[in-house]
Structure 1
């Protein structure tokens, strides 16, 4: 049976707001939490981007729900040895209910440390080496590693959870999905694509969980909800590799001038039609997802959580 979690958006919420949303999510009946890991918001309209590891420490004190990063890039901005320490600490703080979601990242967040932004094939190669380093450190051994992309010398983690933190890999294209099947403990993706899930299973993901994320804009006025979704999250509708290669929120905003309200209205569930929300989430279940994380676009989180607590989650969990 598919379970349903809430997707905390670091790009649009302050740290304290994220903690309050986590409390409301648990009270509403959501079963888990995702949280995004960004240095910048996608656009300046979104307006926030707190340090995810600090927020996760706060989450461990205000909710009993499992937490996963969706997703952390362990390749350029943050060395994999540092990601390993952060994730292990979260595993301890959350008493074994933390998962590390990993992806190949975006220039928007990673180029801030001044290095070049590698092509997609090299980014996946770097992810694979990073996962190797992180897993070795999760074992508790002292690690010295001289690889193609990373050097680690005499590193050892002394604060570790009882079991190694599971590592899920983000996969949107075929190469990333194949990598997730081969080295990941699960797959993270963002569309109810049954063919993609099948490719993952054939690539080594049989028996491993598939996690999906989506955004909706709940509101009693559908037209206003569409306008809100278009204003805050137009970047979700950019084509191809643009979101991965554009370096600043200003560049993303320039590209987003191509995204129309009509495009958003056709692809995002907006408003308070119960059947529309249910049908969209059912499409993830039908595609074979184990967990689906839902983000509310816009500021009316209390209205969203009340709607899902009374109208949506009871029907999804029958």
Structure 2
């Protein structure tokens, strides 16, 4: 189950409990300073939420994904992740990515090109891996400096680090420096690029958004209102700086595009097939996020129909 940035903190905790009771086996949570649009509403601090989740449920938790390069220094991210790993008793996985301007521009720094962001991420992963050992770390790199830092609350084992990718260059980076790949579409070619660049045998993780509802038309309207950003083309999602800009760009997304791209309604086999597409593409884990406020009907349907079908 994937928790979305649009839910208020107490709602996220409630969703996690419902997910555990429904038979979901893992949780994922995104890291946003801003939501993608004002209609989505809340955008809670991810590290507070992970701490709360550690006390509310017994499921593993993965960040899908956090950016350890600009808004937070990698040393600070390492401390947050290490504490999360300890609180969760080894059930925490750190998913990282190069970030979006929407969240990372807030200090007023220039938004770098992908090439620079990839360099920053690779160096950040190096810094965090050093700190996860619990030893004293000093680092002088191109993008980061660390001066005699040590994590006194360190995980018993180095935390797994998954790296997000949406194109072949990022997939190659994930294969080289990550313990696994995160990507949001069932793209077998991207999985192949990851595996060909050092990712063979490593975990592949994906996520899919759905809107379960007895009224398919209403579900399509819900997705079109709350999540048209999912269908923005190219690199817009990486470079637009504010929710207002996303709202303007989302005028490009039609209701028909949503109907074609997102699983909406209560045809169980369509929901099952949406997940199976990831399995066929070589994914090991798939996180499912329900769009909209109808969370209870989603959890009931997945507990009674969809998850049993997938398990079969």
TM-score interval (norm. to shorter): over 0.9
Q: 1:305 aligns with which of 288, 295, 299?
A: 299
Please state how far the C-alpha of 1:296 moved relative to its aligned partner.
0.1
Distance 2:269 2:207 in 1: 19
Q: 2:55 aligns with which of 39, 52, 61?
A: 61
Say whether residues 1:161 and 2:155 are aligned partners. yes
Please state how far the C-alpha of 1:73 moved relative to its aligned partner.
0.4
Distance 2:189 2:231 in 1: 21
Tell me, yes or no, if the aligned pair for 2:208 and 2:274 is still in contact at 8 Å.
no
Aligned to 2:129: 135
Say whether residues 1:185 and 2:179 are aligned partners. yes
Q: Deviations over 1:128-148 (max 9, x none)?
A: 000000000001111111110
Aligned to 2:206: 212
Moved over 6 A (4+): none
Q: Deviations over 1:44-81 (max 9, x none)?
A: 11011110000111100111000011100011110000
Please state how far the C-alpha of 1:315 moved relative to its aligned partner.
1.1
1:41-120 aligned at under 5 Å gives the runs: 41-120=35-114
Q: Deviations over 1:250-274 (max 9, x none)?
A: 0110000110000000000000001
Tell me, yes or no, if the aligned pair for 2:207 and 2:288 is still in contact at 8 Å.
yes
Please state how far the C-alpha of 1:117 moved relative to its aligned partner.
0.6
Distance 1:237 1:291 in 2: 22
Aligned to 1:3: none
Distance 1:100 1:235 in 2: 24
Distance 2:9 2:155 in 1: 25
The DSSP-based 3-state class of the residue aligned with 1:257 is helix
Q: Deviations over 1:207-227 (max 9, x none)?
A: 111000010000000000000
Say whether residues 1:9 and 2:20 are aligned partners. no
Distance 2:94 2:107 in 1: 22
Structure 2 unmatched runs, 5+: none
Say whether residues 1:282 and 2:276 are aligned partners. yes
The DSSP-based 3-state class of the residue aligned with 2:2 is strand
Aligned to 2:225: 231
The DSSP-based 3-state class of the residue aligned with 2:210 is strand
- The root-mean-square deviation of aligned C-alpha atoms, in Å, is 0.6
Distance 1:281 1:111 in 2: 34
Question: Would you say how many aligned residue pairs link Structure 1 and Structure 2?
Answer: 312
Please state how far the C-alpha of 1:197 moved relative to its aligned partner.
1.0
Distance 2:86 2:112 in 1: 33
